[in-house]
Amino acid sequence: MARGNGAISAATGAFSALPYSLASRVERPDGKTSPEELLAAAHAACYAMSLAGELASAGTPPDHLDVHATVTLDQVEDGSHRIVASELLARARVDEMDAETLSRLAASASEGCPFTKLIEASATVTVNATLEGETDGD
């Protein structure tokens, strides 16, 4: 495995022949994707849909959402690798919304995202949502 390499394609054709290797997974990516990067893309997309759904159900559909997901792979005690964290950051442009309501809906959007429920078997999922125009982390 240390010297091997692979290529990844999607059935829909949305992406194809993406190269990957052990080095691109656990060291520097050098332009190559990795399973964890694909999971980050999956989680960000899943969460964006779930948050859009929660906001719409509350009568306040978003104009715009920016969602970042960062998935962390780490070596654990026995030397094996484990996906230990997925951190979700959302910035929302929503009319008539306060920070407290957004936080509540953002948390329930994570619970409603099927991928959050799954990955919690291995990883800690954190959610931080802010309204556009606010300072990050408030």
Partner 1 sequence: MATDRKAEVTWHGDLMSGSGRIDSVTSGAIGGLDVDWRARSEDAQSKTSPEELIAAAHAACFSMALSNGLAQAGHPADELKTSATVTFQPGEGITKIALQVAGNVPGMSQDDFRQAAETAKENCPVSKALAGVPEISLDARLEG
In whole angstroms, how close is the CB of 136 to partner 1 at the nearest point? 15
Site for partner 1 in 72-91 (CB under 8 A): 72-75, 80-84
**CB 30 to partner 1: min, Å:** 8
Report the residue number, 74 or 134, with the smaller CB distance to partner 1: 74
Containing 7, the helix (H) or strand (E) segment is strand 6-8
Indicate whether 117 belongs to the interface with partner 1 (CB under 8 A).
Answer: yes
* Least distance CB 133 / partner 1 (angstroms): 17
Q: Which stretch binds partner 1 (CB under 8 A): 68-76, 99-107, 128-136?
A: 68-76
* Residue with smaller CB distance to partner 1, 106 or 123: 123
Per the CB < 8 A criterion, the answer to whether 99 and 93 are in contact is: no
The residue with tokens 């240390």 is 2
Shortest distance, position 101 Cβ to partner 1, whole Å: 16
Residue ranges of E strands in 44-123: 64-75, 81-93
Spatial CB neighbours of 132, under 8 Å, sequence gap ≥ 6:
64, 91, 92, 93
Name the segment binding partner 1 (CB under 8 A); options: 45-53, 100-108, 128-136: 45-53
What's the rounded Cα separation, in Å, for the pair 89 and 106?
A: 10
Q: Show contacts with partner 1 in window 89-108 (CB under 8 A).
A: none
Length of the chain: 138
Q: Which amino acid is at 40?
A: A
